[in-house]
Structure 1
Amino acid sequence: MNAKIAVIPVFMLIAGMGIANAAPKQDLVDFFVEQGCAIGPLTRAVARSAGFSNADIDALVAEADDTAETIRTGDWIVLPTSLCRISPPDVRSEIRLDDPEVQAVTTSIDAYAEYDEIGCFLSGQEITERVQETRGWGQEKAFREYLRFLAENLRSHDITFYSDDMLKTPPGFQVLTGDCADVPNIEDIRRSQVLRDQEFDTLVRADSREVVCLRDDAPSYRFMELAEKLTGGENSNVFMSFEVKLMALGGGWFVGTSATQKGAPRPPLCRFE
């Protein structure tokens, strides 16, 4: 009798160890949201480095395989929206919007008033040059953190690259914090940011049909046409596709991108031939 009773706790301990070692599914899904809901050789390796097991990843892939909306392309799988909603990547840069290097290259709100541009604009190239000088960073480190800086602040709506006219390119990235947000077209800017984020998943998935991985650029030339349809014509930012590309670059959704190489998209931004 005592021997039988003793077996039960041991069995429960062994079972409990199995449960403890299994990563909660939502944690794994949340991880892949940052990878664009795409599972492939590159993102699997990153997931393994983050502590997730191949068994956990394979179980998620198996679940996705039961869903018709799952995209399989090359060695990659893009999880369906029902499991994983593609969102702007939540990255954090070592360069902050209120850093002196950034403040030094941000204009006053009326600097371009004579060109009918009201807003605080910053010069990206000057930021990378300054952080190399002040922090001793190499070119690649400065470039990588600058991309992450753009992705982070585009996602948080603290900056934008906005124009409602394709023939009128903004002087630079527009800062939308504090007094710098007090601009005449702020409602149009905010509406476009919200629409971009609301339709991000649908836009990326739809546009991926137009882009061949490792060959084409992303988003495709049809992206803005898709955005027009999905937002019912409410989006007024003609540079929405550029913002999406920058967020994807900052999130690491391109392969081989460096200070001297533009790199190429990987899923979910594209599909293999």
Structure 2
Amino acid sequence: MTQLTLALTVLAGAAAVYAVLGVLGMQRARADREAAGLLVPADLDPYHAVAVAGRAADTHRPAAAQLLLDGSVEVDEQGRLFATGRGPLPGHPLPAAVLAVLAALARQGPHRTTGLGMLGADPGLAQDRDAFLAAEEAKHPRLARARSEDGIEVVAVLTAMALPACYLVPAVVLIRPFSLFGGSWAGQAALVVLLAVSVGVPLSRLFADRLWPDRREPFRAQCAAWPPHPAITALDRERLARLDHKPPPRPDEWTSGLDTPGAF
């Protein structure tokens, strides 16, 4: 087999792989659109719908809004949240997790408050939130598969990585133009791996970022088109504006090298 024949064979094989992946991608996209079109707000937990429409951390806002409506939490003009010690126990795990964080801060002292944007820094809240969302995703397998890692893209990227190796094998092993390690087969194999990684990894990265189309997310678009979370709709404008306000750092929370023990 000549080098030209081998090169054309490799290109034809790669083209066939990408053709199959393209067909599979179109079929999957059509199935996702159909499934997303049948989804209605009653099918999802309101907090789960917020996460699907955006990010998992976006659920903190409606959870805090619900606590404000219940009277369990207040927010000052600077956007700082603090637990009041009043109000009913939350009936949902996400507001309960947010209230647990604020209650723990309140036990540390009246100055220990936080803004909405800093709630996600608490590992306990993130763990409870992710556990709840994972349980909700398990109830909707089709939605979970649509939001999982794109297996078709993985195969496409691996194919792009394999192309350099397919050309380097005959160039290095069959022609053997280099005398690495005395021209031994082990040396030639090591050279193939080294060159394939050096060329294949950047090529696959370029392929994934610039050439391969991003997977569409019809479930995200569908949930984003729904009305806001009921707690956001019910909360008055003043408290909603306070909730969205990013509080400045308090003077007693500022730290620097000058007041750090052992700084000098």
TM-score relative to the length of structure 2: 0.21
**Higher RCO (C-alpha 8 Å, min separation 6):** 2
Q: Which one has a larger percent helix, Structure 1 or Structure 2?
A: 2
